[in-house]
Structure 1
Amino acid sequence: MIADRGRLRTMLASLVRTLHVGVLADCFFDPGTAACLKQATNIDGKMPLTALCKPTRCPNACITARHRPAWSRSAEDATTLLKEKRLSPLQRTTVKQDLQRIEAVLDGLDRRI
């Protein structure tokens, strides 16, 4: 979720949630709705699993302007990878879909800035 300042203030005001700072998004971890926990087995569920984070698909994620440089680098990396001639059609399709997701995040951030 791309958060504006008002939503961010509201989320920070809640004493129930703990903010976990991340590179692509911050996480207001709630084990009941955490997408990362749904992908894992044998976990205690007390902390987010940042390696499994999908910030565009998790209601706990908060993407702000501070995260824009990392998303921008991801878009550049995907664009560079698409220039590689040895990608299989399946790999090319996957990278293109990921680039579309990244560009949607960047567009959302740019509308809020």
Structure 2
Amino acid sequence: MAVDFDRIRAELGDLPGTVASPERLRAALRHLTRTLHPGILNDCFHHAASAVCGKRAKSLGRPLPMLNACLACPNARRSSVHLPGMARARDLAAEEFARTDDVPTFQRIAIEEHLSTLTQLIVELRDEEGTPA
């Protein structure tokens, strides 16, 4: 593999950008047939056949990422890199939700479910990573 990196560097030169962690680089290299989309709440190894965003965007002819779709998509991968973003998203949503009294019932249910999903993903990720709560 080092030979391939040396050949590519010789042909193209150093490319701009950095990899967040060696684990993310290894994961990306294991999935060369998929497009990697690094993100704040998760990374996406986009595979059209199983992408939730693709199923919701047939009329546009391109994937249409949606926050809730990405949280439940089988293409999403999370690591400790994503914990701060997930916690911030949950905390901001909870703060805003707490300030609003006149939320319609179905919207309230959707927001509560979103907060619950984020909290559960954070707990699972902390358990997997051995990160304290």
Where on the TM-score scale, by shorter chain, does this alignment land: which range? Answer: 0.7 to 0.9
Q: Give TM-score scaled by structure 2 length.
A: 0.66
Q: Is 1:24 aligned to 2:41, yes or no? A: yes
Q: Is 1:40 aligned to 2:57, yes or no? A: yes
Kindly state the Cα deviation for residue 9 of structure 1 after the two structures are TM-superposed: 4.4
The correspondence for 1:92, drawn from 108, 111, 122, is: 108
**Aligned residues between the structures:** 107
- RMSD between superposed Cα atoms in Å: 2.6
Kindly state the Cα deviation for residue 94 of structure 1 after the two structures are TM-superposed: 1.6
Structure in which a larger fraction of residues adopt helix = 2
Q: Give TM-score scaled by structure 1 length.
A: 0.76
CA contact (8 A) 1:28 1:61 kept: yes
Letter in 1 for 2:88: R
Unaligned segments of structure 2, at least 5 residues: 1-21
Q: Which residue of 2 aligns with 1:80?
A: 95
Deviation string 1:52-104 (CA, Å, 9 cap, x unpaired) is 67223211111111111111112112221332212222222221111110101
CA contact (8 A) 1:35 1:54 kept: yes
Unaligned segments of structure 1, at least 5 residues: none
Structure 1 residues 31 and 67, CA, compared in 2 at 3 Å: closer, same or farther? same
Q: Write the distance in 1 (CA, Å) between the matches of 2:68 and 2:107.
A: 21
Q: Write the distance in 2 (CA, Å) between the matches of 1:101 and 1:53.
A: 9
**Sequence identity (%):** 30
